[in-house]
Chain A
Amino acid sequence: MIEEREYDIVIVGSGAGGGTVAQELGPLARAGRRVLVVEQGPRLLDHEFTGRELEMANALYADGGGFLTADGTMTLAFGRAYGGSTVVYTGTSLIAPERVISHWHVPGLTHDDLERRSRKFMSQNNAHELGPELINDNNRLFFEGCRKSGWVARQFPLNISRCRGSGLCNLGCPNAAKLGTNRIQLPNAEASGVEVVTRAEALEVGDRHVTVRVSARRERETGLPSEWQPGMYRVRAHVIVLAGGALGTSALILRSPLARAITHVGSRFTCHPAVILVAEHEHAITNDVGHPQSYYLDLAASERFLLEACMYSPFVTAKSLAGFGAAHSQFMRAFPRLQMILVLACDRATPKNRVTVDAAGRPVVHYTLSPQTIDALVNGTRAAAQIFFAAGALRMNAPMAVPPVIERRDAYRARVLIHSRHFLRGQVSVSAAHLMGGCAMGQPHSAVTDSYGRVHGVPWLRVADSSLFPDSLEANPYLTVMALADRVAEGIRADAGALLSNAATVGRTPSGAYPAATRN
């Protein structure tokens, strides 16, 4: 049995995109419009952010953080909770590079506009640089290693307030100090009268309705029960905003009959493939305390990679280290002496890399690392080696070297030892957390949406997440997602008169079916 519910606007997803749209539609809610956010994950109470790795990974990430690409060689990590991936990111707040926005060539989208909106959310989210007393050794070593290597590392603005330095950002901040949408935008939205339903999975989107399945909270499961009774719902709305992330939004459209009316969904998927590198120092350093990511080195324009200081939990560290046995164990037992660097390759959209769905409608990511992306990972690893040893490291674990441990005495040969011929798919641990593309902005003949997230040919449907990106951003995407979502909300407010006054039937054939999309 399906229960019917009616709203004016439904937003699917509560992360950087959905949470922002929800807040920015607050004026409509205060004016009496019914706005609903549908979130698949749970809503956690403050005390439920325990920082315990297994518990939090299972509670806050899709597939416990272990979602694999179709060929099983890359792990994709994305959040699934009230607040989406903003609950599990580290809060690094960067404005989109101007050269990337220019390269995107999206009609109507300017860098000036994105920058203005991004700064609005940086202010709202208290994004700022930490004072020197709060920079831990792991980050200082990164800065020093860069400086001695002739590079200038820059500091990340972080959207935090009263950070206690737990270092547990990627497992959900246990101190309510990280200001994701679960702390700022969603509470603002709810205070305006926007409703949020959690543990609610959008199964299908149809003509101005979303089919939603609400699940019961299992015994001992983290998080509150859903605000609705478990069961099936058909939620009707004049406007539907999809903000379930690059995978969630693309898959939702692809498994719906609506897919016949929309072309190019799932294409142009990019993700900044990354490797986590580990080096060992002689003495203990502060690494698992303090904010894990204070500095970065941006070589995207010239070298196609970014380097970030980072720190991870024991399991993620162990998984990232190449090799096994005694040498692997030796690195792990040196945990208090470990420095880590994250290498992110700036990939480019290719026809092969895309999101599809399987027979059950679940997202499937087809992704092949291009030779250029592999080269970026190799060159990034070489640069990281230079930084590690300049900072005084005794040895580093280099997944693209054979054998994978490079001692300090061989540091001068790192560029030779680390080589693309040693990169083996399925052997080097590659992961990605910046999932982009699938509903790219652009012209109707080659893209899914316009620069305000309006789906071409379907005026009641909008997209407000990283699936809008027509190519990789070459920077952390969350702030740009918020800026784009701000545009989507502005567009809805501007179109509200036409969209919300009548339930006009648009786009259907006389039989009620969706017309097949016109291809140029």
Chain B
Amino acid sequence: MDLAPVRSILRAIATTVLPETASQDERDWLEMEALIARTVSSRGPQNPEQLLGFLRLVQALPIARYGRRFTVLDARRRVAFLRALERSPLLRLRRGFSGVRSLIVLAYYTRVDVAESIGYRAVPEGWAARGGTVSTIPLAPTLWVEP
């Protein structure tokens, strides 16, 4: 699946959904697109066309409201437009936005460096990696309840 024709649209949506992606370098962007393309292609033959079609719709729909395509809207209007899609009365638009949002967060938050940057530290070594079982919340005396 080739996302090059809709690259600018996808990136504009991504930076609105996840503002931190604006600081990604070109390599990160291309890896994000590759993962999205692989994921969409693996879910069925009709899915790539559906994604491309939805992205083109996102680009065109704002013309009716703002007189401009999505990629040339300012940040505030992009947010407003995507919020309108998110809660659209049309299921197809809600589902489309939810799907694109899921793909973007999939490609971003499955990166090891991103997971580390937000403080996610799950490792196979478990408690041992934290120096032993650690808790900050004391257990109340009524913790153990007899059935």
| A and B part of one assembly | yes
A: residues with CB less than 8 A from B are 49-54, 63-64, 66, 71-73, 132-137, 140-141, 143-144, 147, 152, 154, 163-168, 174-175, 283-286, 288-290, 313-315, 317-319, 323-326, 328-329, 332-333, 335-336, 402, 424-427, 429
Interface centre among B133, B139, B145 (most CB of A within 10 A): B133
Contacts of A286 in B (CB 8 A): 130, 134-136
Partner of B115, one of A63, A137, A290, A314: A314
Asked whether A166 lies within 8 Å of B123 as measured between CB atoms, the reply is: yes
Contacts known (A319-B102, A425-B91, A426-B98); A137 close to B122, Cβ less than 8 A: no
Give A72 to B86 CA distance when docked, in angstroms. Answer: 14
In the bound complex, how far is the Cα of B143 from the Cα of A303, in angstroms?
24
Instruction: Identify the closest chain B residue to A72 (Cβ).
Output: B95
* Docked CA distance A201–B93 (Å): 35
Determine how close the nearest CB of chain A comes to the CB of B113; give it in whole angstroms: 11
B99 within 8 A of A: yes
Contact between A314 and B118, CB atoms less than 8 A apart: yes
A319 x B129 contact (CB < 8 A): no
CB-CB nearest 8 A-B residue pairs: A165-B126, A174-B124, A164-B126, A426-B94, A426-B95, A314-B109, A318-B105, A336-B119
| Of B1-9, B12-20, B60-68, the one with at least 4 CB within 8 A of chain A | B12-20
A165-B126, A166-B126, A288-B121 given; A133·B133 CB < 8 A: yes
Given contacts A52-B112, A288-B122, A289-B122, contact A165 B127 (CB under 8 A): yes
> Contact between A315 and B105 (Cβ–Cβ < 8 Å)?
yes
A136 to chain B: which residues have CB within 8 Å?
Answer: 135
Contact call B133/A290, Cβ cutoff below 8 A: yes
User: Closest B-chain residue to A358, C-beta based?
Assistant: B44
20 inter-chain pairs at a CB distance below 8 angstroms, sorted by A residue, are A132-B144, A136-B135, A140-B135, A141-B137, A144-B140, A166-B124, A284-B119, A284-B136, A286-B136, A289-B122, A289-B129, A290-B126, A314-B110, A324-B16, A325-B16, A332-B118, A333-B118, A335-B118, A427-B86, A427-B98
Taken together as a complex, chains A and B put the C-alpha atoms of A102 and B105 apart, in Å, by 44
**Docked-complex contact A168 and B124, CB < 8 angstroms:** yes
Contacts of A141 in B (CB 8 A): 137
| Residues 78-91 of chain B, each 1 if its beta carbon lies under 8 Å from chain A, else 0 | 01001000110001
Bound together, the chains give a CA A282 to CA B89 distance in angstroms of: 37
| A288 adjacent to B120 (CB under 8 Å) | yes
Interface residues of B in 1-55 (CB under 8 A from A): 16-20, 35, 39, 42-43
Chain B neighbourhood of A288, CB < 8 A: 120-122
Rounded to whole angstroms, the CA-CA distance of A136 and B18 in the bound complex is 30
A137 touches B106 (CB 8 A): no
Most buried by A among B42, B79, B94, B137: B137
* A329 contacts B18, C-beta separation under 8 Å: yes
Q: A315-B106, A329-B18 are in contact. Are A147 and B140 (CB under 8 A)?
A: yes
B19 touches A326 (CB 8 A): yes
B145 CB contacts on chain A under 8 angstroms = 152, 154
Q: Which residue of A lies closest to B127 (CB)?
A: A165
Q: B135: which of A66, A137, A163, A325 is its contact (CB, 8 Å)? A: A137
A426 to B130, CA, bound (A): 39
With both chains docked as a complex, state the minimum distance between the C-beta of A62 and any C-beta of chain B, in angstroms: 11
Interface residues on B, range: 35 or more
CB B16 to nearest CB in A, in angstroms, measures: 7
Cα-based distance from A105 to B73 in the complex (angstroms): 60
Q: Which residues of B contact A52 (CB under 8 A)?
A: 112
Asked if B69 is at the interface (CB within 8 A of a chain A CB), the reply is no
A-side contacts of B143, CB under 8 Å: 132, 143
The reply to whether A66 and B43 contact each other, CB–CB distance below 8 Å, is yes
Bound complex: CA of A132 vs CA of B134, how far in Å?
Answer: 11
Residue of A nearest to B98 (CB): A426
- Nearest-CB distance from A300 to chain B (Å)? 16
Q: Give complex CA distance A318, B18 in Å.
A: 10
Q: Find chain A residues with CB under 8 A from B128 CB.
A: 164
Complex CA–CA separation, A154 to B91 (angstroms): 39
A335–B119 Cα distance when bound, in Å, is 6
Cβ of B125 within 8 Å of any chain A Cβ, yes or no, is yes
Q: Which residues of B contact A324 (CB under 8 A)?
A: 16-18, 82, 86, 101
> Are B119 and A175 interface neighbours, CB within 8 A?
no
Please, how many angstroms separate the alpha-carbon atoms of A290 and B125 in the complex? 10
In the assembled complex, the CB of A312 is this many whole angstroms from the nearest CB of chain B, namely 10
A63 touches B135 (CB 8 A): no
Docked CA distance A336–B120 (Å): 7
B105 touches A429 (CB 8 A): no
> Bound state CA distance, A50 and B124, in angstroms?
8
How far in angstroms is the closest Cβ of chain B from A277? 17
- Which chain A residues lie closer than 8 Å to B118 at the CB level? 314, 332-333, 335
Q: How far is the CB of B137 from chain A (nearest CB, A)?
A: 4
A63-B42, A166-B122, A314-B114 known; 15 other A-B pairs, CB under 8 Å?
Answer: A66-B102, A71-B91, A132-B143, A141-B137, A143-B143, A168-B124, A174-B124, A289-B121, A290-B126, A290-B127, A319-B101, A324-B16, A324-B17, A426-B91, A426-B95
Count chain A CB atoms within 10 A of each CB in B20, B82, B91, B122 and give the residue with the most: B122
Contact of B136 among A66, A137, A163 (CB under 8 A): A137
Q: Return the contact of B17 from the options A132, A313, A325, A335 (Cβ within 8 A).
A: A325
Decide: A427 near B130, CB < 8 A? Known: A154-B145, A283-B136, A325-B79.
Answer: no
Contacts of A285 in B (CB 8 A): 136-137
Q: Which residue of B lies closest to A427 (CB)?
A: B94
- Which A residues touch B134, using CB under 8 A? 286, 289
Report how far A464 CA is from B17 CA in the complex, Å.
44
